[in-house]
């Protein structure tokens, strides 16, 4: 009979990372469970809290495997319903480069890639050099304390494989340089977005706070157009982790991420390092992979997180294909796009540039320029902004004439009805002029959560 150990493990989905799993340990012998999970490469994130964050997004499967082993050792394990749902979910990688593989074979390949990643992360595999090879990354390295076996690695994330082995680092480097001399760079390659997300998931549970942290005021609730910018990169990571129909790739300069739908007709570009009020996002839709753009949209780096979250939700829901390609943008389209503003009582005026809707506090607006709508590629036919006006906004979104009215209506509804959070700054309650000075902090968008789909 298996002895009972006074340890309870509660397994649940991670609060911020879409596929990661957290374990909360209780009981006088919780240390036994902790050691078992650490041996399975779970990471300690806080006292009696561990996180499993992998680069192959197979955390639910391995969490279930860990639960079975813990139970066999006499440890009580609880799996929450939402994690159980993720464990039971059937999914596969879109456009997997080895379509002949079964689901279990794909998982085995991914696990080997995970082991390579872990060996690098723990310092057991020293990477000497890397290079770009077409659309992927190659590298050469040596396993320490394992006979000093040197390896040639091909691919990234869950597709990284050992493509060749060598008897010594010198032999490996000579062979690598012979093929990749022009692109060869010393050391390991830059972290991928997936690797960054896993690092963030493992470090999110920081429960060490000092008195100054505890005395900081809670973020204040504000109209959504005044909300903090939040972490745009984290929003993109979450979107791509839950919408596997989009393929991600990052430029060699590491400053831009592209997300392309499997149909090749909807594309998202995210420029990571931008100055205030500069374009950080570009979305473009095409009728076919080789046709001209049907519509496109841009967003600046200071766009509030809830507004950007709404945009991504609509793209994930398929609103990128809800277009009005034929004919001019008529009154019906404009009415549909702005109806939430009208219903919320936003002021409606005619200006020299077109039709403008302004929020009750005068610090946000939407403008439609009918003259520019005659040119299909004009990106400023629609302008959504926060600030005193569209000429010098705090943040802005611009869209071409045929941007989907359902997407525009969704953004309008968010502006008109939803709220967000903003970090309170000293004196803000007394000086209105400080309202735009808050630094960006991660915020949770108020509204519909992103759907979980693989």
Confidence of residue 446 (pLDDT cuts 50, 70, 90): very low
Nearest-angstrom CA–CA distance, 235 and 443: 10
Q: Which pLDDT does position 65 carry in this prediction?
A: 95
Confidence of residue 424 (pLDDT cuts 50, 70, 90): low
Going by DSSP bridges, is the β-strand pair 279-286/293-300 parallel, antiparallel, or unpaired?
antiparallel
pLDDT digit string, tens, across residues 322-377: 554 445 678 888 999 999 999 999 988 987 778 999 999 899 999 998 877 666 56
CB 339 within 8 A of CB 409: yes
Q: Which of 387, 401, 205, 217 is nearest to 293 (CA)?
A: 401
Residue 133: phi and psi, rounded to 5, are -130, 95
For residue 364, how far is the Cα from the chain centroid?
27
Nearest-angstrom CA–CA distance, 172 and 174: 6
Q: Which pLDDT does position 434 carry in this prediction?
A: 29
CB 370 within 8 A of CB 391: no
**Can you read off the two tokens belonging to residue 259?**
């997300």
Give the mean model confidence (pLDDT) for residues 97-115. 93
Helix (H, G, I), strand (E, B) or coil at 390: coil
Nearest-angstrom CA–CA distance, 250 and 403: 26
Helix (H, G, I), strand (E, B) or coil at 194: helix
Q: Where are the alpha helices (DSSP H) in 142-192?
A: 169-180
- Outline which parts of the chain fall under CATH 3.30.70: 8-88
Q: Which pLDDT does position 241 carry in this prediction?
A: 84
CB 132 within 8 A of CB 141: no
Say whether pLDDT at 75 is over 70: yes
Q: Which pLDDT does position 5 carry in this prediction?
A: 87
Calculate ∠ Cα 200-204-206, nearest 5°: 140
pLDDT digit string, tens, across residues 216-275: 566 788 999 999 998 898 899 888 888 888 888 876 556 788 899 988 889 999 998 887
Q: Which pLDDT does position 211 carry in this prediction?
A: 40
For residue 178, how far is the Cα from the chain centroid?
37
Q: What is the CATH number of domain 8-88?
A: 3.30.70
Say whether pLDDT at 386 is over 70: yes
Contacts of 91 (CB under 8 A, 6+ apart): 244, 454
Which residues are paired to 386 by β-bridges? 364, 395
Say whether pLDDT at 405 is over 70: yes
Say whether pLDDT at 443 is over 60: no
Helix (H, G, I), strand (E, B) or coil at 291: coil
Nearest-angstrom CA–CA distance, 173 and 167: 11
Q: Which pLDDT does position 373 carry in this prediction?
A: 65
CB 273 within 8 A of CB 308: no
Rounded to 10°, the helix 405-417/305-316 angle is 150
Give the mean model confidence (pLDDT) for residues 26-36. 93
Q: Which pLDDT does position 430 carry in this prediction?
A: 35
CB 232 within 8 A of CB 269: no
Q: What share of the chain has pLDDT > 90, as a percent?
A: 49
Nearest-angstrom CA–CA distance, 437 and 394: 11
Contacts of 301 (CB under 8 A, 6+ apart): 229, 232, 274, 275, 276, 277, 278, 279, 280, 395
Q: Which pLDDT does position 249 carry in this prediction?
A: 82
Q: Which pLDDT does position 30 carry in this prediction?
A: 92
Confidence of residue 391 (pLDDT cuts 50, 70, 90): confident
Q: What is the mean pLDDT of the chain?
A: 83
Say whether pLDDT at 449 is over 80: no
Say whether pLDDT at 450 is over 80: no
Nearest-angstrom CA–CA distance, 248 and 7: 41
Nearest-angstrom CA–CA distance, 88 and 212: 44
Q: What share of the chain has pLDDT > 70, as a percent?
A: 84
Q: Which pLDDT does position 217 carry in this prediction?
A: 60
Say whether pLDDT at 445 is over 70: no
pTM score over 0.75: no
Give the mean model confidence (pLDDT) for residues 136-164. 90
Helix and strand numbers, DSSP H then E, in the chain? 11, 22
DSSP single-letter state for residue 319: G
């Amino acid at each position: 009979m298996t002895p009972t150990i006074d340890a309870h493990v509660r397994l649940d989905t991670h609060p911020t990372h879409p596929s990661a799993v957290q374990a909360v340990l209780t009981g006088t012998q919780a240390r036994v469970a902790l050691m078992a999970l650490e041996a399975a490469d779970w990471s300690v994130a806080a006292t009696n809290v561990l996180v499993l964050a992998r680069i192959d997004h197979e955390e639910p499967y391995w969490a279930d495997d860990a639960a079975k082993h813990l139970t066999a050792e006499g440890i009580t394990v609880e799996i929450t319903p939402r994690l159980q749902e993720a464990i039971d979910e059937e999914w596969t990688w879109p456009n997997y480069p080895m379509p002949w593989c079964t689901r279990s074979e794909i998982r085995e390949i991914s696990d080997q890639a995970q082991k390579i990643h872990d060996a690098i992360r723990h310092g057991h595999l020293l990477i000497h050099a890397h290079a770009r090879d077409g659309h992927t990354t190659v590298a050469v390295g040596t396993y320490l304390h394992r006979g000093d076996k040197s390896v040639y690695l091909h691919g990234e994330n869950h597709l990284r494989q050992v493509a060749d082995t060598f008897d010594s680092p010198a032999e490996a480097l000579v062979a690598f340089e012979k093929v990749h001399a022009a692109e060869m760079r010393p050391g390991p390659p830059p972290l991928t977005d997936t690797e960054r997300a896993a690092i963030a998931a493992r470090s999110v549970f920081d429960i060490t706070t000092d008195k100054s942290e505890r005395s900081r005021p809670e973020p204040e609730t504000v109209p959504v157009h005044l909300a903090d910018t939040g972490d745009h990169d984290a929003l993109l990571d979450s979107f791509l982790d839950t919408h596997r129909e989009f393929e991600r790739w990052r430029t060699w300069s590491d400053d831009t991420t592209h997300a392309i739908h499997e149909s090749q007709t909807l594309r998202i570009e995210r420029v990571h390092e931008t100055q205030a009020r500069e374009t950080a996002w570009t979305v473009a839709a095409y009728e076919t992979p080789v046709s001209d753009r049907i519509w496109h949209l841009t967003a600046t780096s200071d766009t509030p997180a809830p507004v950007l979250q709404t945009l991504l939700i609509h793209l994930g829901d398929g609103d990128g294909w809800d277009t009005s390609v034929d004919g001019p943008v008529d009154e019906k389209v404009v009415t549909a796009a702005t109806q939430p503003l009208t219903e919320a009582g936003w002021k409606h005026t005619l200006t020299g540039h077109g039709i403008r809707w302004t929020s009750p506090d005068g610090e946000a607006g939407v403008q439609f320029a009918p003259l520019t709508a005659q040119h299909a590629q004009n990106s400023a036919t629609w302008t959504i902004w926060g600030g005193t006006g569209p000429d010098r906004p705090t943040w802005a979104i611009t869209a071409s004439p045929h941007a989907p009215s359902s997407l525009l209506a969704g953004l309008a509804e968010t502006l008109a009805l939803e709220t967000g959070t903003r970090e309170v700054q000293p004196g803000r309650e007394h000086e209105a002029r400080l309202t735009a000075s808050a630094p960006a902090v991660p915020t949770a968008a108020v509204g519909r959560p992103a759907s979980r789909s693989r």
